[in-house]
Amino acid sequence: MLKSGTLAILILWGAPVRAEDLTPKDLDVACAVSVSIELVQISNADSIEWWAAFSEFSFYLGRLTVRDNQANWRQIIKGRVAEGHNQRNSPETESACLDLFNKTIQP
């Protein structure tokens, strides 16, 4: 696993983020940032796709808040997207994000 500083360097260089390189917290951040980008790219905010992405974003935001309730995770994620950290994750990280979300919300 990579340390957060190493993750930041990879993101700044535009390297795709891979799931196996991330701590659980870093995976939550990467997933939340990726879903934020997806929300912005969906043109119809009333679509099923938008609401599905919003649900996934809320899920990761909640996980981050439980890990550290002193941090303003919405602002942190918004800042990462605004700073240009808006490259998509690697396909395996995207898959890990979706798998975690689906496994957790399934009854």
Where is mean pLDDT largest: 13-22, 55-64, 77-86?
Answer: 55-64
Q: Which two tokens stand for residue 91?
A: 């396909």
Q: What is the pLDDT of residue 7?
A: 47
Determine the average pLDDT of the residues in 52-66: 95
- Mark out the alpha helices in the chain (DSSP H runs): 4-12, 24-41, 48-67, 73-82, 91-105
| Domain residue extents for the chain | 4-105
Q: What is the pTM of this model?
A: 0.77
pLDDT-based confidence at residue 16 (cuts at 50, 70, 90): low
